[in-house]
Amino acid sequence: MRTIDDYNFADKKALIRVDFNVPLDEDFNVTDTSRIDAAKPTILKVLEDGGSAVLMSHLGRPKGQSNPDLSLSHICDKVSEIIGVQVKFVADCVGEKVEQAYSDLQNGEILLLENLRFYDEETNGDEAFAEKLSHFGDIYVNDAFGTAHRAHASTTVVAKFFPENKCFGYLLAKEIKAIDKVMQTGEKPVTAILGGAKVSSKITIIENILDKVDNLVIGGGMTYTFVKAKGGKVGDSICEDDKMELALDILKQAEEKGVAVHLPVDVLAADDFNNNAKTQVVDVTEIPDGWQGLDAGPKTLENFKQVILNSKTILWNGPVGVFEMESFAKGTIAIGNAVDEATAKGAFSLVGGGDSVAAVKQFGFEDKVSYVSTGGGAMLESLEGKTLPGIAAIMA
């Protein structure tokens, strides 16, 4: 695996695909700088070697149209502040303006190109567009895990124009190693904690990881599809009736492979889907009509905690309750505390997938787990066993 450490960038210009698809408020201030922070070590390596960096990214979904609200010019000052170098900005990503700015770029300087997705050619994986981008660097560095599952011009196609000079940045290399540690080289016992609302959105992950894990902890809304499939009463809880056969098949596969499946035994049920609803703790198989399970119950959390504390490698994907509402956040916080404790005892813990990452950040667990993935869709496709085009292009 070729990484940025395999190259010396002295007097070289690095074309770096970063993921600066960051949230902005109504005044165009960056409200979460995680993705910029994550790219900093890669950019600094290039500058400290004595080279310069050309950064390319997308922002939002402009659908091939120039949109001033989605211009990367809005984040230029914040990137400059975080990197510690004044970033130059050019209001295009191909063409004469960029060529001039590129030729003027000196060692130690950074040039940020305009939003790639102002061009349809980016998302279409257009080869001619990729070739134009390739003119703006001596070495291509992909450090954008969040888009590695897309065969876009800047993430995949451009790499073919750098047959000998392409590598992973620090962030992307760390993501690959973290997933590999869970899926291939992790110390046993390996435990996957899967939450979220639907079995259907996790089925390919479950099927792929059953050969890799010792314990499968199931929480969140998909619990009730499993419980109902086994004959339990789930009241008004979210349930995919058309996936009940699938749920039973997963349990059967797990048993055949010797994987211990841990389902909730009790839940915090509510009489309405809101923070101020009446609540009661009930057996997961006896949820009354008119009530719905919105968080894991105390016995369940104790069971889950013991499994987590006895694990050496932990994957956490998805919350175990409706953590956005304070009344139903206790379960997800308890899982976070258990993963934190196991990590402190030497376990490797990887958190990935939009909602679990949001929960980890919200409740302050970000620095208490081994690794928090920056890529939602890319992380999930990796766990499904798919080869990501952005990674394959560097390995080719």
Q: Which residues are annotated as a binding site for ATP?
A: 202, 293, 324, 353-356
Identify the pLDDT of residue 54.
98
354 flagged as catalytic: yes
| Residue 105 in tokens | 């770029």
Identify the pLDDT of residue 83.
98
Active-site residue (options: 12, 13, 17, 35): 35
Residues contacting residue 144 through CB under 8 Å, at least 6 positions apart: 17, 18, 19, 57, 155, 172, 390
Strand ranges, E, within 110-247: 110-113, 139-142, 166-168, 190-194, 215-218, 233-234
Alpha helices in the chain (DSSP H): 34-49, 76-83, 96-104, 120-123, 127-134, 170-180, 203-209, 223-229, 244-257, 298-309, 330-344, 354-362, 376-383, 389-395
Q: How far apart are CA 197 and CA 363, in angstroms?
A: 20
Instruction: Please answer whether residues 190 and 182 qualify as being in contact, where contact means their C-beta atoms are separated by less than 8 angstroms.
Output: yes
Q: Which residues are annotated as a binding site for (2R)-3-phosphoglycerate?
A: 35, 117, 150
Active-site residue (options: 233, 299, 354, 385): 354
The structural domains of the chain, with segments of one domain joined by +, span 4-171, 186-383
Look at strands 286-287 and 233-234 and give their pairing. Answer: parallel
| Residue 346 in tokens | 């030497």
232 flagged as catalytic: no
Peptide bond into 264 cis (omega under 30): no
What would the CATH number be for the domain defined by 186-383? 3.40.50.1260
Q: Which residues are annotated as a binding site?
A: 19-21, 35, 58-61, 117, 150, 202, 293, 324, 353-356
Residue whose C-alpha is closest to residue 122's, from 158, 172, 171, 76: 158
Question: pLDDT in tens for each of the 396 residues of the chain?
Answer: 999 999 999 999 999 999 999 999 999 999 989 899 999 999 999 999 999 999 999 999 998 999 999 999 999 999 999 999 999 999 999 999 999 999 999 999 999 999 999 999 999 999 999 999 999 999 999 999 889 999 999 999 999 999 999 999 999 999 999 989 988 888 999 999 999 888 888 888 898 899 999 999 999 999 999 999 999 999 999 999 999 999 999 999 999 999 999 999 999 999 999 999 999 999 999 999 999 999 999 999 999 999 999 999 999 999 999 999 999 999 999 999 999 999 999 999 999 876 888 899 899 999 999 999 877 778 888 888 888 999 999 999
Active-site residue (options: 230, 305, 368, 377): 377
Q: How far apart are CA 336 and CA 319, in angstroms?
A: 9
174 flagged as catalytic: no
The alpha carbon of 329 is separated from its chain's Cα centroid by a whole number of angstroms, namely 21
Instruction: Please answer whether residues 376 and 172 qualify as being in contact, where contact means their C-beta atoms are separated by less than 8 angstroms.
Output: no
88 flagged as catalytic: no
CATH class of 4-171: alpha beta
Identify the pLDDT of residue 383.
83
Residues contacting residue 343 through CB under 8 Å, at least 6 positions apart: 314, 349, 368, 369, 370
Identify the pLDDT of residue 354.
63
Identify the pLDDT of residue 353.
76
Q: Do domains 4-171 and 186-383 have the same CATH topology?
A: yes
Residues contacting residue 111 through CB under 8 Å, at least 6 positions apart: 52, 53, 54, 55, 87, 88, 89, 90, 101, 102, 105
Alpha-carbon distances, residue 312 vs 195, 216, 262, 301, 303 (angstroms): 20, 14, 17, 19, 17
Active-site residue (options: 160, 198, 233, 312): 198
β-strand partners of 281: 268
Q: Which residues are annotated as a binding site for substrate?
A: 19-21, 35, 58-61, 117, 150
- Total residues belonging to the chain: 396
